[in-house]
Structure 1
């Protein structure tokens, strides 16, 4: 145990940081640094035994079954053009208002995010539907691209969220409680984005001209195309929030319901099913490797005493709860500009979670705050990946224009993070009331 010191932990973190910046795979980097560090700190035999125990415990976790089922549900909904139907229904309801299609994009991203759980996929799929429509209606390109890129981050917050599932497994927290805790932050995030659009189109009306009003029969037909999708979303999220079904059961219900909807709509072919299965297996295997690597890395950080040392350092600074959480937030925002979201979560959770808990806040609160900080990283130039995804959809728009357009939405994100610190009840109230 000669090398079981915080300094060894710092060296391991720096090596992992360098691997991620060099473009290394997250799961492989976490596993290599974690196992390598344990070999040095504990010795070969103890390190291999520890890694084997972690692998066995991880693969037998009941919660892991949640992830592939939700991924399968998302792929089936993707095959039936759920994103197009959700955006079209929202556009029919509010598209005639100034900035209406921008509001509809936020609503479409929220709806599709609830069945997809991925920020990047939500941005890409809704962007392919919403951006051409906004361009045709004369919307400003910067507003259009920024709205969709910002709305895409709702995919990580609104349950079911892949990021929250991964965090719950790593931090050993209830996935159902995390999903319930994410509801109010997800809603307030969407409302803040809508407020940004409202202010922008009032200050500069030319950004988003009003469009023709859809008739009530047209609205009815649009809503008729999504009632079954909305029912599944409400059943999955509501079932978890009210404790009627566990997250794993909700995932199974959602996947089965998605299959039924695809059959009823006549869009379930052998090719569709094969694609959904293959993509689900590929993504699940990748995420399982990441989770395994993250748990080994967490053990390495714990053995070196780095988490305790970091907590002691922050305590000695004499910060209160508020300043400690602001300090944690600034660290996450700075690292989020150079690391992808999942890398940020897996690297910093074992280090920052003890600090947050020592300040008097819970691991559930930190999970929601961490995912929000990840989302801000998706929108922060120069490496905000949602911005590049959106620019890939709108190829005629320069990336610098996308960067400029997203700044008001970034300001609302910073405000939202501050609100989560000032009013933790935004996260903790609903799980307390519902008893999840």
Structure 2
């Protein structure tokens, strides 16, 4: 049954069938072949209970927030401001890519939106100044992954919903690891550019007057992040309510920058509907598949299989990490999460690891799936923004940053307090 589930998942995905449909097809197949009674009689109740949640209303709000910021031109001003502050480091504008992705991640909640935004702003500058296309593109793709780690994060909302984990705690747990990962990316960039200065392009510097003047362009994103996260932890708003406040503030900011018009509003709403529909189809499909897997005994069989291997908790965790790395080559991030969470998280808790901590560890592994071929979405986003050059350049460019992610995984295992310190003290 386990082989049928994993093999069927990979086979259907290889046919380019939408992920949500794949999950439903697998559920129907397992029901027909392995279930002693017709589980699909409970389909209506499972679909209704999985979609009838106020928590999930936060998803379209955060998607819309990112759409408004992308289409209002705020990202371009943010990039220009951060360039003045960090472009003197070895690697120059590559650090501006990572810093912009970090700051934009704190409001967008989406890795693809973050990567697309930074790529559209930074690529023309890189071509004009003669940066190495591999490292420059790799930094954009890797920096974009921070969109699902630094709060607010759509993927953390989905994880919290599927595992019944506090979303505010997940948000604050992802803050330090997200910032540490961004710092690791910048360290990797600096080391490579010090070893081979031609990778970093020409060094640039800005006057202190320009730097302080540019802080005005950073205020919108800092204000949004402070309002959203502050409202949640002050107890003034739930994540859903804070997301709605963020959308209202983003609209006001866009209006202040004279970026609001009919075309911008229509495009933002269309993008929100498309993304939300995709996410909800995957989430509901995952609930249906989990219902069937549990009833048919697949989850129990996998737990027994891992237990019969006779490995300790750490060795079992290493096997789980390896599974995520391998699956990340073939399965898109959200699909990877919702297809594995119902099976893996109970095993992780059973061997003694914290569910909140594992959520952050899983997000880093899922981040790697965004930059590993053949289905790493950020790779295609960056390549589309470049509009020329070999796709292999982007793949080669992300390798150092993928290794930095593995280093972050090792740090989380060695020092769980990196993720648990803030949730346990706030």
TM-score, L = length of structure 2: 0.94
- Pick from 11, 14, 17: which aligns with 1:21? 14
Q: 1:413 aligns to what?
A: 405
- 2:145/2:370 contact within 8 Å kept: yes
Distance 2:31 2:248 in 1: 42
Partner of 1:327: 319
Does the 8 Å CA contact 1:20/1:343 hold for their aligned counterparts? no
Distance 1:402 1:12, change over 3 A: closer
Q: Which runs of 5+ in 2 are unaligned?
A: none
Aligned-residue RMSD, C-alpha: 1.9
Distance across 1 between alignment mates of 2:161 and 2:13: 22
Aligned in 2, Cα 1:193/1:242: closer, same or farther, shift over 3 Å? farther
Say if 2:271 is the partner of 1:279. Answer: yes
Matches within 5 A, 1:4-43: 7=1, 10-38=3-31, 41=35, 43=37
Alpha-carbon deviations, 1:11-42, whole Å to 9, x = none?
23432332112211111111222244345525
Indicate the residue corresponding to 1:426 in structure 2. 418
Shift in Å, 1:243: 4.1
CA contact 2:329–2:375 (8 Å) conserved in 1:
yes
Provide the residue aligned with 2:136 in structure 1: 144
What TM-score does the superposition give when structure 1 sets the normalisation length? 0.92
- Cα distance in 1 for partners of 2:393, 2:80 equals 26
Of the three residues 160, 167, 174, the one matched with 1:182 is 174
Distance 1:347 1:22 in 2: 18
Q: Which residue of 2 aligns with 1:4?
A: none
Tell me the CA shift for residue 292 of structure 1. 0.8
> In 2, distance between residues paired with 1:157 and 1:309?
31
Work out which of the residue numbers 79, 82, 86 in structure 1 matches 2:74.
82
- Encode CA deviations 1:133-158: one digit per residue, 9 max, x unaligned: 12322321211111111111111111
- In the TM superposition, residue 408 of structure 1 has moved relative to its aligned partner by 1.4
CA distance in 2: counterparts of 1:67 and 1:141, whole angstroms: 34
Contact map agreement 1:168 1:175 (CA 8 A) in 2: yes
Q: Are positions 1:349 and 2:360 aligned together? A: no
Moved more, 332-341 or 130-139: 130-139
Q: 1:384 to 1:47 in 2, by over 3 A?
A: closer
- Across the two proteins, how many residue pairs are aligned to each other? 425
Point out the more displaced range, 221-230 or 331-340: 221-230
Aligned-partner Cα distance in 1 for 2:282–2:395: 30
- Give, in whole Å, the separation in 2 of the partners of 1:338 and 1:282: 23
Indicate how the Cα distance of structure 1 residues 97 and 194 shifts in structure 2: closer, same or farther if over 3 A, else same.
Answer: closer
CA distance in 2, matches of 1:203, 1:13: 43
Separation of aligned partners in 2, 1:13 and 1:140 = 39
Residues 331-380 of structure 1: per-residue CA shift (max 9 Å, x gap): 10011111111221122212211211111112222222222111112222
- Kept after mapping to 1: 8 A contact 2:63/2:110: no
